[in-house]
Structure 1
């Protein structure tokens, strides 16, 4: 192809591209206003439920959308409005946390691991594990994640020490999707100087670094860290830090998601609906107008009596001197659209609770006409949330128990063990025990679609152990007249018969000798 042909081909391609333009690609730039630590602090303020802190948070926020929210708004002079926080976010977390902790059972280490079980019980007792777990689960739910740090300090305890770090004080390092290292940050203050101790926990090592601002300084710079070793090594199969998270974060890769994600705007609107309702009630207070000539007077001095705010609040007005005037007491009561405010309140509440928890779990009755079946259907939202949390805990808590036990072995210079502990959670009391009895009792008579074993398992679940459930099955079968008997056995070793001809060993007529055959069993050779 010569030069002219190449030029024609280039011009032809450019003309075709011009006549058939390709779809344009537009770049969209989104600026993140908060990092993970700042969003964790924001969620913590919502959980604490202090209206003063919420107003300060949003009025100082640089986000463009937040400046129009209820908690960021400023009242016009002379038209001040009372801002009320309902405390719903904190109530949701406390209720879900109470449901999970109340159902948590004990760790099981399997047969032959009694020593490991005893070690864990002592570690849990020394560290008050149940109380510490209750606090950590709350923070995981509203912050998103966190991590347990296992420390060995024989000056304090002869057992490993379990410490909890919330999400804003830890960082996770992943390699090919696997956890490689956890950085625990502990702030210290010496005078007016801020120090931060960062402990890097990885597989087989713990490295400690002290920072003064952004500058690394020696560990002996402050008294709290002077006894720490810069580097500690041990078995490379063990890491003495265990992260805990329930949901995945949609904005920050490798971090946990808060139960508040996507709900903060709904909480803000819910507070606004309730505050407006209460403001209308305050503005709609009844006012009593009394003409001056019929206001009660002091019988001794003749002065007008001051109104009592509890029984005779009134506003004095001038006497009407008109021809047809009537000096009478007037009471004015503004009409408050109660139904409209209630509808707004219920709708905002539904937006806050959707996909997380049922109103009946919180003790809220917003629709009094719902029957028991409708209430149970709504309760499924709580069950779904509970199942997601328990599934995550059943993966993480056994790892935590194993790490604590291996830390105990490292402390006593013993070989680490590969443990597979497990933990069970009891059933959530939904549906009610009475309705469950009624449902299961109808399942078998007339239409035996469930065995007695299945009924007992469905009824008691993890609330009873296996031995108790076997005994309960035996009792129910005995009451129903079902008797389990052992099947009669046949001794097959005697199944061969010695048949001989007429050589005198058999009986008369050549009959076989069946004298050794088991009683009640007759056979033919």
Structure 2
């Protein structure tokens, strides 16, 4: 399929999805100004006659009814504050999956060596992609290469709000990535499109208005694209990009064909509304602090003029006052103090309930965010307290593992096709690291009891204490343990106690080991 020749971009059918991406991105960024701008733009898509946007459906009507969708009154500064729980959720999601590198294995040693070589950079890419994917519902992994940068291709992450995908039967068939590479002085912009489809990668450069592609330019018209070829044949029968969904199904776009195959954001459903309410409660608490500042109310006659047109002031540190004439018998000339109460407990309880509801709806345990006052001692207790987070992590791993395996296999095929690699492309098995480390004391006690009961071998004990070790490391440790055990039980003549006992029991039954030797012996 060729690149588009112009028109709206992203396509009009994806505009509702991109409106939602803008909102999700604003929450992920954690910037109050950005939230106000995005919500204001969506709420004003209809002309504000009696604020009709509040009566519309979809994302436009939803945000207009929320705290962040309410405009700041004219003449007042914005006092709305934001609690960055959304970015904390995205970071936690990424950490649970990729804080430890995944175990990627294949049967062929040469292929395994190549995969081990790419794992460190790949882990960093996955951490970045999965964090943004938690907010936007998913991310893409694409094959990238530049012989001036690296001799081999690598996998790069692309965020969901920079892609126009094509799905077939729920699987990614092709995708067009896009980016604005320059904003021109006349208000126009240059946009680079990069389309990945089976067998080909296409590049195009366009000059148009925001939201419109405009005319297509040669790639040599800008330094960012001058080194690219308009069409690159990959030699593969598959797309050189994969889509990694955060979770499925997507409740928002389940019945909307352009978005029904996209992943679900951690902020989907009631989460955004609860985060909006949390910001409103936090803003109310801070408003109480502002209003509770001590103020003195003094008669106007106490004020000292600062000059014509400059108002008047009162100095509370002045110790002597000149005599003032009362204006009348009812003028008592009193100074009164005013200070409102700060509703600390009410606001704290409200925010605690909202935080608990947000984390429940997003699928995480409060313990994962350090919100529990109890400190777990053993790994079993940690797993019990963080069960909801671990269940969510397991669900995300189910969606991530097949896509990651596809991406690695595709990259190996691309190396063989375009780079002459002799490594045999294979689809790897993916196992995610344990996010809850076992308690070493509990493991040691278990190993001691099993060894004392003679119910387990030395090799099994080593594997239980070191589950991340490979076979050579395990065998070497077993050999060291046996050597040390033998040294501790050896007699001065160099014969171990075990060998001496075995020799005794192996002697013939009619032979007395203590008898004197016979003649000739």
Whether the TM-score (by the shorter chain) exceeds 0.5 is yes
Displacement of 1:305 = 9.2
- Tell me whether 1:419 sits opposite 2:426 in the alignment: yes
Aligned 8 A contact 2:459 2:478 in 1: yes
> Could you give the per-residue CA deviations for residues 220-263 of structure 1, whole angstroms, max 9, x where no partner exists?
46234445433333434443222222213331222122111121
Change in CA separation of 1:283 and 1:56 when aligned onto 2, cut-off 3 Å: same
In 2, the alpha carbon distance for the partners of 1:42 and 1:56 equals 10
Residue 349 of structure 1 deviates from its aligned partner by 0.8
The alpha-carbon distance between structure 1 residues 415 and 458, as it changes in their structure 2 partners (threshold 3 A), is: closer
Give the distance between the partners of 1:113 and 1:375, measured in 2 at CA.
37
- Counterpart of 1:134 (choices 127, 133, 139) is 127
1:113 aligns with 2:121: no
Q: Which residue of 1 aligns with 2:147?
A: 154
Greater RCO (CA < 8 Å, at least 6 residues apart): 2
Matched, 1:285 2:284: no
Which residue of structure 2 aligns with residue 57 of structure 1? 38
Q: How many residues are treated as equivalent by the alignment?
A: 432
Alignment CA distance shift 1:369-1:177 (3 Å): closer
1:222 counterpart residue number: 221
Q: What is the Cα deviation at residue 145 of structure 1?
A: 2.0
8 Å CA contact retained: 2:194, 2:202 = yes
2:462 and 2:148 mapped to 1: Cα distance? 51
* Residue in 2 that maps onto 1:36: 17
Report the CA distance shift for 1:461/1:149 in structure 2 as closer, same or farther (over 3 A): same
Kept in 1, the 8 Å contact 2:202–2:232? The answer is yes
Alpha-carbon offset, residue 141 of structure 1: 1.2
Structure 1 residues 131-175: Cα deviation after superposition (integer angstroms, max 9, x where no partner)? 333222211111122222213433443211443321122222233
Is 1:98 paired with 2:91?
no
Match of 1:504 in 2: none
Matching residue of 2:199: 204
Q: After TM superposition, give the deviation of residue 183 of structure 1 in Å.
A: 1.9
Contact 1:238 1:406 in 2 (8 A): no
User: Deviation digits for residues 294-319 of structure 1, max 9, x if unmatched?
Assistant: 9xxxxxxxxx99347xxx99xxxx99
Q: What SS does the aligned partner of 1:61 have?
A: helix
Residue 382 in 1 paired to residue 381 in 2?
no
User: Offset at 1:65?
Assistant: 2.8
Residues 291 and 328 in structure 1, CA contact (< 8 A), matched pair in contact too? yes
User: Is residue 2:354 matched to residue 1:348?
Assistant: yes
The aligned runs of 1:224-239 (5 Å cut-off) are: 224-239=224-239
Q: 1:414 to 1:348 in 2, by over 3 A?
A: closer
Question: 2:165·2:176 contact (CA, 8 Å) conserved in 1?
Answer: yes
Contact 1:142–1:258 (Cα < 8 Å) also in 2: yes
1:265 deviates by 0.8
Distance in 1 between the 2:63 and 2:14 partners? 11
Residues 438/281 of structure 1: CA separation in 2 closer, same or farther (3 Å cut): farther
Q: Deviations over 1:354-407 (max 9, x none)?
A: 143222222224xx4798798764411221222223333332223222222222
Mapped contact 1:379–1:430 kept (Cα < 8 A): no
* Inter-partner Cα distance in structure 1 for 2:206 and 2:295: 65
Q: More deviation in 440-449 or 162-171?
A: 440-449
What residue number does 1:401 align with?
408
**Partner-residue secondary structure (3-state), 1:35:** helix
Contact 1:286/1:332 (CA < 8 Å) preserved in 2?
yes
Question: Which residue does the alignment assign to 2:490?
Answer: none
Task: Give secondary structure in 2 for the equivalent of 1:153.
Answer: coil
What is the match of residue 297 of structure 1? none
| 321 and 437 in structure 1: CA distance in 2 versus 1, 3 angstrom threshold | farther
Higher-Rg structure is: 1
TM-score, scaled relative to structure 2: 0.67
- Structure 2 residue 109 is matched with structure 1 residue 87: no
**Secondary structure in 2 matching 1:184:** strand
Paired position in structure 1 for 2:495? none
| Cα displacement string for residues 18-68 of structure 1 (whole angstroms, at most 9, x for unaligned residues) | xxxxxxxxxxxxxx9952222222211111111111112112223223222
Q: Is the 8 A contact 1:152 1:411 kept in 2?
A: no
2-structure distance, mates of 1:458, 1:271: 47
Q: Is the 8 A contact 1:410 1:416 kept in 2?
A: no
Q: Which of 432, 435, 438 does residue 428 from structure 1 map onto?
A: 435
Label 1:333 to 1:358 Cα distance change in 2 as closer, same or farther (>3 A). Answer: same
Displacement of 1:120 after TM fit? 4.2
* 2: CA distance, partners of 1:184 / 1:389: 24
Range with bigger deviation, 442-451 or 171-180: 442-451
RMSD (Å) for aligned C-alpha atoms: 4.8
Find the aligned partners of 1:391 and 1:345 in 2 and give their Cα distance. Answer: 33
1:246 aligns with 2:243: no
User: What is the rounded CA distance, in whole Å, between the counterparts of 2:460 and 2:414 in structure 1?
Assistant: 42
Matching residue within 163, 177, 181 for 2:156: 163
